[in-house]
Structures are given as C-alpha cells and as structure tokens.
C-alpha cells in the first residue's frame, strides 16, 4: 500500500452532506410553518458557508457559526427567530442525515484491512458521531477527531498536531488526507506536511490556488491510486 495511514474527511467525502442539509432545512421550515423554496435554500447556504469560512480562518468560533447562523439567515428574510432554538431544532433533523456518498462504505471496508483509518472533520461532535454510527462507517476507524473536541479546526496546524498525537508510530511520509475541501482538507494537509487527495467530482473552472498531491473524481478511484 502506498500509504499506511488514511485521514478521511466526512461531509461530501464519505457522507452526502448536501442531501442531509436539504432534508434538515425542509423539515425545519415545515416545523416552523414557513414556505421552503430553492431560493431560500441557496441563501441559507451562502450565509452558512461564509460563516464556516470565517471559522476556518479563526475569525469565528464554532459556537458563533452554528448558534448565530439562523438568526443571520432569517434576518435577511425579515423574519425574527430565536437563533439558538432554531439551531437546536435543525441539529436534530441533521443528525438523521447519514446518506452514504457513492460506495463509500465499501471503499472504507476495503482500506480498513490494509491501513489505519482516521476521521478528521470540522463540525459538531454529537452530530458527526451519530451520522457515522448510523451509516455503519464508525467501526472501521481507529479514532474520530472532530474540531469541536480539539479546540482547533482544519486547516490549522494545531488540529493536525492534535490528530498526530492520537496516531501511534506516525510516519508522515506514509500518511495522506482525503477530502473535498481545498481550503480545509488540502490546505490543512499542506500545513501539516502530509500528502493530500482532493475529491473533486467536477473539473475546476479556474487554475487552483492550492495544489493537492493527487486528485480523484470519486472515492472508488482510490483503489487504483493507492494500490
């Protein structure tokens, strides 16, 4: 095997976060008796993604991101809500979203027999653990490292230092991170001086500002890449 330690992102790498998010938002709007449209979903994603980018750069804490996003979003719709209560309701719906991305379970089962697998994810610990358990992915990983538990987030070097401390006999030359985000997964791997695999279903439209070690279109491409 080309690598002995594989670090996997979760959302839109192993699990279909886009589907889980859409289902949770629809359920939340139904609970509140509000009409849900594609335009509102798009606006929410813009607000949410901007806040998570601020989290990645250290401009916002995780609590500021998740506990304030619905207040900021509904303010744009001229609708006043209790942001924290909305977050808690949304989180309950999101916890149920564990749709696998492609054949991710089979891919993970295959590589768990050949290497040590770890989860590295920016997110909420309770949510990620439940989704990993419900999707039957959890048993194949040695550790699940969630930003909420570390006090740091990808791409911060401190997140990776925390992760590496959890890996016995770490060999960075034989360690690789696999994820869909250039700004957190790939930049984080570069910061940590390990190889990177960018999962990109679509061809980039512009030159990359961040260069991954490898690129794949789907997780199944790992079979040939890592053999």
**What Cα–Cα distance (Å) separates residue 114 from each residue in 110, 117, 174, 226?**
7, 9, 13, 10
The radius of gyration of the chain from alpha carbons, rounded to an integer in Å, stands at: 18
If you average pLDDT over every residue of the chain, what do you get? 95
Percent of the chain topping pLDDT 90: 87
214-216: strand order across its sheet: 143-146, 116-121, 5-8, 175-179, 195-199, 214-216
Question: pTM of the prediction?
Answer: 0.90
Structural domains of the chain, count: 2
Which of residues 68, 94, 120 is at a domain's end? Answer: 94
pLDDT tens sequence for the chain (227 residues) = 999 999 999 999 999 999 999 999 999 999 989 899 999 999 999 999 999 899 888 899 989 999 999 999 999 999 889 999 999 999 999 999 999 999 999 999 999 999 999 999 998 899 999 999 999 999 999 999 999 999 999 999 999 999 999 999 999 999 999 999 999 999 999 999 999 999 998 877 677 889 999 999 999 999 999 98
| Measured CA angle at 136 (ends 213, 69), to 5 deg | 70
How would you write 28-54 as a 3-class SS string?
Answer: HHHHHCCCCCHHHHHHHHHHHHHHHHH
If asked whether residues 12 and 34 sit together in one domain, one would say no
Distances (CA, A) of 192 to 34, 99, 142, 183, 196: 45, 30, 20, 13, 10
Last-in-domain residue among 61, 94, 127: 94
Torsion angle of C-alpha atoms 36, 41, 47, 52, degrees rounded to 10:
120
Give the number of other Cβ atoms within 10 Å of residue 111's Cβ. Answer: 21
Q: What is the CATH number of the domain that holds 90?
A: 1.10.150.240
Q: Which of 94, 120, 143 is the last residue in one of the domains?
A: 94
**CATH value at residue 206:** 3.40.50.1000
Residue with tokens 């989290």, as numbered in its chain: 55
In this prediction, residue 93 carries a pLDDT of 95
Q: Which domain holds residue 180?
A: 5-16+99-226
> In this predicted structure, what is the pLDDT of residue 217?
94
Residue-level pLDDT at 202: 83
So what's the pLDDT on residue 164? 98
Q: Which residues are catalytic?
A: 9
């Amino acid at each position: 095997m080309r690598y002995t330690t594989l670090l996997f992102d979760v959302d839109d790498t192993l699990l279909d976060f886009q589907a889980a998010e859409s289902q949770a938002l629809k359920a939340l709007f139904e609970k509140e008796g509000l009409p849900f449209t594609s335009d509102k979903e798009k606006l929410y994603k813009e607000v949410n993604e901007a806040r998570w980018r601020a989290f990645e750069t250290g401009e916002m804490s995780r609590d500021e991101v998740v506990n304030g996003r619905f207040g900021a979003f509904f303010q744009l719709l001229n609708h006043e809500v209790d942001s924290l209560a909305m977050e808690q309701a949304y989180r309950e719906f999101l916890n149920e979203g564990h749709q696998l991305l492609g054949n991710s379970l089979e891919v993970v089962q295959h590589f768990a027999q050949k290497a040590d697998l770890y989860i590295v994810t920016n997110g909420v610990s309770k949510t990620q653990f439940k989704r990993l358990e419900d999707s039957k992915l959890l048993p194949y990983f040695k550790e699940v490292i969630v930003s909420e538990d570390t006090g740091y987030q990808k791409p911060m070097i401190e997140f990776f230092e925390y992760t590496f401390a959890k890996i016995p006999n770490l060999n960075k030359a034989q360690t690789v991170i696999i994820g869909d985000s250039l700004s957190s997964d790939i930049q984080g791997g570069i910061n940590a001086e390990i190889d990177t695999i960018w999962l990109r279903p679509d061809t980039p439209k512009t030159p990359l500002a961040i260069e991954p070690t490898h690129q794949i279109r789907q997780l199944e491409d790992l079979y040939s890449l890592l053999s």
